[in-house]
Chains A and B, each alone.
Chain A
Amino acid sequence: MFDLWARVPNLAQDALVACALFLPLGLIATALWRGFAPLPLVRAMLRRFWGTNLVFVVLIAVSVAMGIALIAQERALRAGMAQAADKFDLVIGAPGSQLSLLLASVFLQPSDVALVSGALYDEVAKAQNVDIAAPLAFGDSFEGAPVVGTIADFLTYLSDDRIEGRVFGAETEAVIGALVPLEIGAEFSPAHGSVALEEDSHAHAGVHFEVVGQMARTGTPWDHAILVPIEAVWEVHGLANGHAPAAAHDDHETHAHAQDEDHAARAPAAHPIGPPFDPAYFPGTPAIVVHTSELWANYALKSQFSRDGEAMGFFPGTVLAQLYGVMGDLRQAMSVMSLVSQGLVAAAVLSGLFILMRLFRRQVAMLRALGAPNRFVVAVIWTYATSLLLAGTVAGVILGAGAAQVLSLVVTARTDVVVTATLGWSEVHLALGFLCGVSLLALLPAWGVLRRPVAEGLRA
Chain B
Amino acid sequence: MRAAEAAALPLDLSINGLVMHDPAGRVLLDVADLSVRAGKSLGICGPSGAGKSTLLHALSGLRRATSGQILWGEHDVQAMTPSQSAAFRARYTGMIFQDFLLFDELSALDNAGLGAWFRPRGERAKPRSKAGAILRDLSVPQTARSVASFSGGERQRVGVARALASDALILLADEPTASLHRAAAEKLGDDLVALSRSGGATLITVSHDEALLARMDRVIRLENGKIVAGDAHV
Contact = CB atoms under 8 A, between A and B. Distances in A.
A367 B120 CA distance: 16
A47 B90 contact: no
Contacts of A374: 82-83, 86
A38 to B, nearest CB: 7
Contact of A35 (B90, B94, B121): B121
A373 B105 contact: no
Contacts of A130: none
A367 to B, nearest CB: 8
Contact of B89 (A44, A48, A371, A376): A371
Contact of A371 (B63, B91, B104): B91
A362 interface: yes
A366 B97 CA distance: 9
A48 B147 CA distance: 13
A368 B101 contact: no
Interface in A406-460: 453-455, 458-459
B105 A454 contact: no
A52 interface: no
Contact of B105 (A38, A44, A372, A458): A44
B110 interface: yes
A370 interface: yes
Interface residues of B, number: 34
A369 interface: yes
A43 interface: yes
A369 B60 contact: yes
Nearest to A457: B62
B145 to A, nearest CB: 13
A363 interface: yes
Interface string B78-102: 0000110011111101110100010
A41 interface: yes
B117 A371 contact: no
A454 B62 contact: yes
A contacts with B: majority SS:
helix
Nearest to B162: A370
Interface string A289-309: 000000000000000000000
Residue of A43, A368, A458 with most chain B CB atoms under a 10 A cut-off: A458
A366 B101 contact: yes
B108 to A, nearest CB: 13
B114 interface: yes
B118 A373 contact: yes
Given A48-B105, A371-B90, A455-B57, A41 B117 contact: yes
A376 B101 CA distance: 18
A370 B89 contact: yes
A44 B101 contact: no
B106 interface: yes
Interface in A293-335: none
A35 B101 contact: no
Nearest to A366: B101
B101 A40 contact: no
Contacts of A44: 103-106
Contact of A362 (B63, B101, B110): B101
A37 interface: yes
A369 B62 contact: yes
Contacts of A367: 114
B124 interface: yes
A157 interface: no
A47 B89 CA distance: 28
Contacts of A41: 103, 106, 114, 117
A453 B58 CA distance: 12
Given A44-B105, A44-B106, A363-B103, A37 B124 contact: yes
A373 B86 contact: yes
Contacts of A376: 117-118
B117 A369 contact: no
B90 A40 contact: no
Contacts of B120: 35
Nearest to A48: B105
A289 to B, nearest CB: 69
B179 to A, nearest CB: 14
Contacts of B141: none
Nearest to A43: B105
B117 A36 contact: yes
A452 to B, nearest CB: 12
A390 B178 CA distance: 42
B115 interface: yes
A376 B103 CA distance: 16
Contacts of A455: 54, 57, 62-63
B156 to A, nearest CB: 14
Given A36-B117, A36-B118, A376-B117, A371 B86 contact: yes
Given A47-B105, A371-B91, A37 B117 contact: yes
B57 A373 contact: no
Interface in A38-81: 38, 40-41, 43-44, 47-48
A43 B117 CA distance: 13
B89 A40 contact: no
B88 to A, nearest CB: 7
A109 B119 CA distance: 71
Contacts of A38: 117
A116 to B, nearest CB: 78
Contacts of A458: 57, 62, 97, 101
16 contacts: A37-B121, A43-B105, A44-B103, A367-B114, A370-B89, A370-B115, A371-B90, A371-B91, A371-B115, A372-B115, A372-B118, A373-B87, A373-B90, A374-B83, A455-B57, A459-B53
Interface of B: 53-54, 57, 60, 62-63, 82-83, 86-91, 93-95, 97, 101, 103-106, 110, 114-121, 124, 162
Given A35-B121, A370-B89, A370-B90, 15 more contacts: A35-B119, A35-B120, A36-B118, A37-B121, A44-B103, A363-B101, A363-B103, A371-B86, A371-B87, A371-B89, A371-B90, A371-B93, A374-B83, A453-B62, A455-B57
